[in-house]
Structure 1
Amino acid sequence: MQQTKPQLSFWQIWNMCFGFLGIQFGFALQNSNVSRIFEALGADYSNLAVLWVAAPITGLVVQPIIGYLSDNTWNRLGRRRPYFLWGAIAASGALFVMPNSPTLWFAAGMLWIMDASINVSMEPFRAFVGDMLPPKQRASGYAMQTFFIGVGAVVASALPWMMTNWFDIANTAAPGMVPDSVKFSFYAGGSIFLLAVLWTVVSTKEYSPEQLAAFDAAQAHFDKQATPSVSARSAKQYFKGGSIFTLIGLVLLGLIFVNIEALDKNLYILAGGLIAFGFCQFVGGYMAHKQYTKNGFAQVLGDLFAMPQAMRQLAVVQFFSWFPLFAMWIYTNSAVTSHHYASRDTASIAYNEGADWVSILMATYNGVSIIAAIVIPFVVRKLNLQYAHLINLSLGGIGFISFWFVRDPAWLVLSMVGVGFAWASILSVPYAILANVLPSNKMGVYMGIFNFFIVIPQILAASILGFLITKVFDNQPIFALVIGGFSMLIAGVMTLRVKIPQ
């Protein structure tokens, strides 16, 4: 008789997802405060994107590698848990060091290390739900992750404000210094990150390879249909794709070089990314020609071009959904302090009051996401997944656009309500669709590949937003949020194209 995965209790699901609380502490502190740290160390808004680009590039590289490795790992800690633990130790250390960075470029390097470490912990958690839960409970697992994401982000985003207002820790510092309220927030976040992940590592036991093999046998027919062939893309197709992407990248590079005064230097990132992807396809073509396809690089690249149809359609939605989120994380601090508090002086009271209010706004959208995670399933039952996602993304798009029209910063809380519904939907609906279309033996690597379509729009945002703000929108960062709002509206419409599997 074929074995199926047993259903887990509420507290078992709670324990296996609890580590996400710590992971989100790290991400929320990073997203809410890194621009503030960069500006305190001398960066201005035109340089923020190129400094931030370390984060998405790190995710682009790290997540598929970790996904592939965790698919093929088994030791005394298990399959995914070793990566939870190693990533948490490194990320916690980076959180302690980041606010004490002596120079701007040291801080940029610490962001790279911190983001890589957080990704090492985070990526296997998505696959962990697929490993541990039967199909009927996977939606509950992702909902629980969303709950912990919301709770962790609310508290972590508000930490600088709490340090100042509850513990009377200074939120201002001399020019070139990071306020103590930010430093102590990072210290608390680093500690909570490690402890939360340790809770999951200790409290949750993974299934053995033999058990997983038995469970997989119960879905052998599904996997046979769903698992794409790694060798489906020919060497000729790889070389053709590599030539196109490399040519486009070189043309863009030439345009930047010829018009270096007129074009933004951040466009080098976009050109470099296109050339790098072209080079990867040349390597893939050579490996396909030599039939050297059993290595990790060839398998990940082959799987990228052989995604299930629903995943391809979701990739477009993800692209337009995550572009505005990255714009928010980079530019909200600059947008609010300049547009609503009329200050760009990082040592001024007005600027730091605005920066503290941004922390509250970040906490607001994450707090709303907790409520939204409860509401969304009811909307899905009344409508369907596509229309629920369309509604939530539309609320987020309107919220971003409203930043331009709202003058009283207190009313920006209402704008963040819409962003919170969009955020909760982005964290749950796409994964609910994916969970049952991915082959179980490649859950980790496909979750990593899916991250490409989170990272690529972030790299694009880092490449073009600085150019658009300085050259088109008269050095007004608020327009980064407006652009993001229209992008999120497009994502909502594109959701209607996604074909939900039976």
Structure 2
Amino acid sequence: MEVLKKPTLSFWQIFNMNVGFLGIQYSFGLQQTAINPIFLYLGAPEEMLPILNIAGPVTGLVVQPIIGAMSDKTWSPRWGRRKPYFLIGAIIGSLCLFAFPSSPVLWFAVGLLWILDVGNNMAMEPYRAFVGDKLPEKQLSLGYQMQSLFVGAGILLANGSIVLFQYLLGDESIEVAGEIPQWLYYSFYIGGILSIATILWSVLKTPEIPPSDGELAEINHSKSLALGKRIAEPFTEIAKAIKEMPSFMWKVGAVYLFQWYALFIYWQYITPLFKLTMGYSTSEAASQSAQMSLTYNIVTMVVALALVPLTLKYGGKKIYALSLVGTGLALFAIPFITDAYLVLAPMVLFGIGWAAMMGIPYTMVSKVVPQDRRGVYMGILNMMIVIPMGIETLTFGPIYKYLLGGSAINAILFAGVFFIISAVLAMRLNISKK
């Protein structure tokens, strides 16, 4: 397969192509901070939070690699290769965000989460491949760290809106069981608008690179297949890609197993933690959780691009491993701080870690996978994210209840240990083409 020579892009061209990530990550920020409090408002017991969040892992496991494989075999002179998929995903996500705060009962909210995750996963994976498609190797680090910046910005806006509306409109003295407070509605409405608007910005501002003659012939061959074979082709391509996957990606999978298991614990149990350590109501704890996310995403925005020269100088694996250690130390500290302001300090380390997690692995993987199969391999990389999340949703409820004594403090410390293990495994990430 011939390799196209890609032009070097300007800073603002790379900026524009990543703007759509702002809307995707705003939605993700609401999932991190607002969804579990909504489940609690609607009567979910704490030990059920992991299993109620299984939508993310399952839809990610199914949707992302299939959409990745399909986008590899897609080309439209008008719409491009990746853009049709993340545009449709953004529309689905937007509709769900408008509907979510009106959920009348728990099962309705859980069902909406499933649909929302389908939309977000449909948008996320082609976007990762889109950046790799456009940039020459020397700019991959800047491209993916720019995505990391927008990850921070999107989640920052989501959590900032939660804190703002809770401050302006919330009444902590009134918390009605079975009802979602009205101050939470507005953050979801903003997300519904951003989901579409930011994706459209990137779609309209950034043309895709046409496929090479060899790639186009492969795409046309795929279109000529019978319907049954076309439906089966993405699954065949995923299986083939996993069989031929570079050994480097298996090592990334080992890191991700512990890293994402730990992150899912943090997002699920940070609100229950503050109810325990600070005696907060659900509303107050949700607001404090949003402030934590607000803080670490500010740090992520500040340090995301600064990591580019550091990774070039010291190597991606060292910066990545060090950032994971810092995230683990942050989680060891949080349960023992009972001051609402001092507890924000560990989020500096968490934010540095989050910036590294959202950029460095994608840069490293982009360098070792075939250009014409980047979509399917980015989907497989995201499978390595959702599989640990799925394992967590199925296993951590019993661990929390029976092994950790139903204590959110122990849950956060458990997550800290997993981050340290992931840091040790990250030191094995030596880039190889095999």
TM score, norm. by length of structure 2: 0.92
Retained in 2: the 8 A contact 1:173–1:180? no
2:107 to 84, 105, 108: 105
Matched, 1:318 2:260: no
AA partner of residue 123 (structure 2): S
Compared with structure 1, are the counterparts of its residues 5 and 405 closer, same or farther at alpha carbon in structure 2 (3 Å cutoff)? same
Deviation at residue 488 of structure 1 after TM alignment: 0.7
**Cα distance in 2 between the residues matched to 1:336 and 1:465:** 19
* 1:468 corresponding residue in structure 2: 399
Deviation at residue 212 of structure 1 after TM alignment: 8.5
* 1:300 corresponding residue in structure 2: 238
Q: For each residue in 1:331-380, what CA deviation from the matched residue of structure 2 results, as whole angstroms up to 9, or x when unmatched? A: 11111222x2225xxxxxx4322221111101111111112213323432
Matched, 1:61 2:53: no
Deviation at residue 83 of structure 1 after TM alignment: 0.8
* 2:359 corresponding residue in structure 1: 428
Deviation at residue 199 of structure 1 after TM alignment: 0.6
Secondary structure in structure 1 of the residue aligned to 2:341: helix
Higher relative contact order structure (alpha carbons within 8 Å, sequence separation ≥ 6): 2
1:359 to 268, 273, 290: 290
Retained in 2: the 8 A contact 1:341–1:351? no
Matched, 1:458 2:367: no
Quick check: 293-302 or 195-204, which moved more? 293-302
**Cα distance in 1 between the residues matched to 2:234 and 2:291:** 43
**Cα distance in 2 between the residues matched to 1:405 and 1:332:** 13
Retained in 1: the 8 A contact 2:152–2:297? yes
Matched, 1:493 2:424: yes
AA partner of residue 152 (structure 1): G
Structure 2, unaligned runs of 5 or more: 219-229
Q: For each residue in 1:202-232, what CA deviation from the matched residue of structure 2 results, as whole angstroms up to 9, or x when unmatched? A: 1111122347859x9xxxxxxxxxxxxxxxx
Secondary structure in structure 1 of the residue aligned to 2:278: coil
| Alignment of structure 1 residues 171-210 onto 2, 5 Å | 173-210=175-212
| Alignment of structure 1 residues 154-303 onto 2, 5 Å | 154-165=156-167, 167-168=168-169, 170=171, 173-210=175-212, 213=215, 295-303=233-241
For this pair of structures, how many residues does the alignment match?
419
**Cα distance in 2 between the residues matched to 1:193 and 1:432:** 25
- Whichever of the two has the greater Rg, that structure is 1
Secondary structure in structure 2 of the residue aligned to 1:177: coil
Compared with structure 1, are the counterparts of its residues 148 and 117 closer, same or farther at alpha carbon in structure 2 (3 Å cutoff)? same
**Cα distance in 2 between the residues matched to 1:376 and 1:3:** 28
AA partner of residue 243 (structure 2): F
Matched, 1:32 2:70: no
Matched, 1:84 2:15: no
AA partner of residue 319 (structure 1): L
Retained in 2: the 8 A contact 1:25–1:152? yes
Matched, 1:127 2:58: no
Secondary structure in structure 1 of the residue aligned to 2:368: coil
Matched, 1:477 2:414: no
* 2:96 corresponding residue in structure 1: 94
Deviation at residue 485 of structure 1 after TM alignment: 0.7
AA partner of residue 28 (structure 1): G
Retained in 2: the 8 A contact 1:84–1:124? yes
Quick check: 307-316 or 205-214, which moved more? 205-214
**Cα distance in 2 between the residues matched to 1:137 and 1:212:** 24
Secondary structure in structure 1 of the residue aligned to 2:201: helix
**Cα distance in 2 between the residues matched to 1:63 and 1:154:** 25
| Alignment of structure 1 residues 366-445 onto 2, 5 Å | 366-445=297-376
Retained in 2: the 8 A contact 1:150–1:366? yes
Secondary structure in structure 1 of the residue aligned to 2:209: coil
**Cα distance in 1 between the residues matched to 2:214 and 2:120:** 27
**Cα distance in 2 between the residues matched to 1:298 and 1:210:** 23
Compared with structure 1, are the counterparts of its residues 71 and 324 closer, same or farther at alpha carbon in structure 2 (3 Å cutoff)? same
Compared with structure 1, are the counterparts of its residues 187 and 173 closer, same or farther at alpha carbon in structure 2 (3 Å cutoff)? farther
AA partner of residue 364 (structure 1): T
Retained in 2: the 8 A contact 1:314–1:495? yes
* 1:117 corresponding residue in structure 2: 119
Matched, 1:336 2:274: yes
Retained in 2: the 8 A contact 1:60–1:455? yes
Retained in 2: the 8 A contact 1:7–1:133? yes
AA partner of residue 469 (structure 1): Y
Retained in 2: the 8 A contact 1:170–1:180? no
Deviation at residue 13 of structure 1 after TM alignment: 1.0
Structure 1, unaligned runs of 5 or more: 217-291, 344-349
Q: For each residue in 1:460-491, what CA deviation from the matched residue of structure 2 results, as whole angstroms up to 9, or x when unmatched? A: 11122211121122211222211111111111
Retained in 2: the 8 A contact 1:433–1:500? yes
Deviation >6 Å, runs of 4+:
none
Deviation at residue 299 of structure 1 after TM alignment: 2.0
**Cα distance in 1 between the residues matched to 2:3 and 2:208:** 20
Compared with structure 1, are the counterparts of its residues 294 and 116 closer, same or farther at alpha carbon in structure 2 (3 Å cutoff)? closer
Retained in 2: the 8 A contact 1:337–1:355? no
Retained in 2: the 8 A contact 1:389–1:429? yes
TM score, norm. by length of structure 1: 0.80
Q: Identity across aligned pairs (percent)?
A: 37
Q: For each residue in 1:41-98, what CA deviation from the matched residue of structure 2 results, as whole angstroms up to 9, or x when unmatched? A: 0001111111111111111100001101111112231111101211111100000111
**Cα distance in 2 between the residues matched to 1:209 and 1:15:** 21
- RMSD of Structure 2 on Structure 1 (CA): 2.2
**Cα distance in 2 between the residues matched to 1:73 and 1:3:** 17
Secondary structure in structure 2 of the residue aligned to 1:374: coil
**Cα distance in 2 between the residues matched to 1:99 and 1:168:** 15
Retained in 2: the 8 A contact 1:68–1:300? yes
